[in-house]
Amino acid sequence: MTVEAVELRISQSQPTPPSPLLLTPPPSTKTSCWSARPTCPPLTNSAESHLEHNPFKCPAAGCTKSFRKASLLHYHIKYYHSNQQLDEQLDEQLDEQLDEQLDQQLDQQLDQQLDEQLDEQLDEQLDDQLDDQLDQQLDQQLDQQLDDQLDQQLDQQLDEQLDEQLDGQLDGQLEESYV
């Protein structure tokens, strides 16, 4: 923030008017003092009273000074906060903002990479599980088909053997009956 920007900000700010409660003297004070200075607030240790009494606050980061008049604030900024100090503060703020943005971008990239890796791992696991299930189903189907084929072949062989035996027995009986 440049000195000109601070001056503009100071000129636009309005001091807060004194509280109406401050115009009445406390019971223990002398009225002659209050009649001479009716707008002066009573002395207290309260920070709130101090802030109301000094409405022009220094805009420099980390500075807690406040002043009764804009000209005093201007003097303070001019001699205690040079442009270099304000530039350094602005640079620090910009660096912090850039760091936050970079951190967010890196977090997003890392999240995306992790999501992709997890998706790949899950896809591989699912593919392996599906392959195993399909292999089991195919093995069962092949076993069933082989069992069916073997049963048919055995049935056919048994039928042929039985037919041959029966044919042999029938032929033997027929020969005996002709003889």
Degrees, nearest 5: CA angle 37-42-43: 120
To which H or E segment does residue 66 belong?
strand 66-67
- Predicted local distance difference test score (pLDDT) of residue 119: 95
Per-residue model confidence as pLDDT tens digits over 89-139: 767 877 888 899 899 999 999 999 999 999 999 999 999 999 999 999 999
Find the range with the poorest average confidence among 7-16, 47-56, 96-105, 161-170. Answer: 7-16
User: Around Cβ 67, how many Cβ atoms within 10 Å?
Assistant: 20
Q: Which one has a higher pLDDT value, 142 or 13?
A: 142
Percentage helix, strand, coil for the chain under 3-state DSSP, each rounded to 5:
75, 0, 25
Q: Any residues with CB less than 8 A from the CB of 108 and at least 6 apart, and which?
A: none
Tokens of 58: 């220094």
Q: How far is CA 130 from CA 115, 125, 159, in A?
A: 22, 9, 43
CB 56 within 8 Å of CB 70 = yes
- Predicted local distance difference test score (pLDDT) of residue 93: 79
Rounded distance between C-alpha atoms, residue 143 and residue 63, angstroms: 86
14: pLDDT strictly greater than 60: no
CB 6 within 8 Å of CB 59 = yes
**Of 8-17, 61-70, 119-128, which one has max mean pLDDT?**
119-128
Per-residue model confidence as pLDDT tens digits over 131-161: 999 999 999 999 999 999 999 999 999 989 8
To which H or E segment does residue 67 belong?
strand 66-67
